[in-house]
Structure 1
Amino acid sequence: MTKLAIVANIHANPDRIDLVKAELEKLLPITRAEQGCLQYDLHRDNDHPAHFMVFENWESRELWQRHMNAPHLAAYLQATDGAVAQFTLNEMTHIG
C-alpha cells in the first residue's frame, strides 16, 4: 500500500481569519484519531495570518478518501462557507 501525503493551503478572507482558524483547529483531534491518519498538522504563515497550511500523511489514498467524506469535514465546509478566499490541495507521494 502506498502512503499518501496531502498539502492543503487555505487562505481565509481577511475578516474571517479567526473563524477559519477555529474551525480548522476543531478538525485536529478528530482527524488524528481516524483510521489511517499518520500525521495531521496545522500551520499558519508567519507573514500572512490569513494563510493556513495543513500537512497530512495517510496510510493510503482510500483511507484519506474516507476522511474526505467524514461528517466532521462536511461540518467544517459548512461552517467556513464563504469564509475561504482560496483553497488548494496537493496529493503527494514520498520519494526519499
Structure 2
Amino acid sequence: MDAKDDKKMEDLILHQLYSQPGRQGVLVPSMFSPPIMLSNIFRIACALKSKGYTTQPDRRSGGWHLKLLDPGISACQSGVTTSGSPPTLKRL
C-alpha cells in the first residue's frame, strides 16, 4: 500500500462512519468496493484515531467498531477529503 491508497481508504472509512446512524458502526470488508482487508481497516482506523477523527478500533461482530468524533464529523461535513477524489461506498 502506498500513501495515496491509504488516504483513499481513510476517506472511505470516514464517509462510511458518517453515513451510519449515530456516526458509528462495525466496519467489515464487504462494506467497501473493492473490499478492504480487516488488517488494513485496523491499520487505517489506528491512523484515524491518532488524528483525533475516531475512537480506538474495537473488535466486534467480525469487524472493527469505530465511532466518529467531532473532528471527523467536521471533516466529512466540510467535504474535505484527504485523497482529493470522491469515496466509493457499497450499501449492504
Q: Shorter chain as normaliser: what TM range?
A: 0.3 to 0.5
**Rg (Cα) greater in structure:** 1
Higher helix proportion (structure 1 or 2): 2
Higher relative contact order (CA 8 A, sep 6+): 1
Higher strand proportion (structure 1 or 2): 1
Using the size of structure 1 for normalisation, the TM-score is: 0.40
Using the size of structure 2 for normalisation, the TM-score is: 0.41
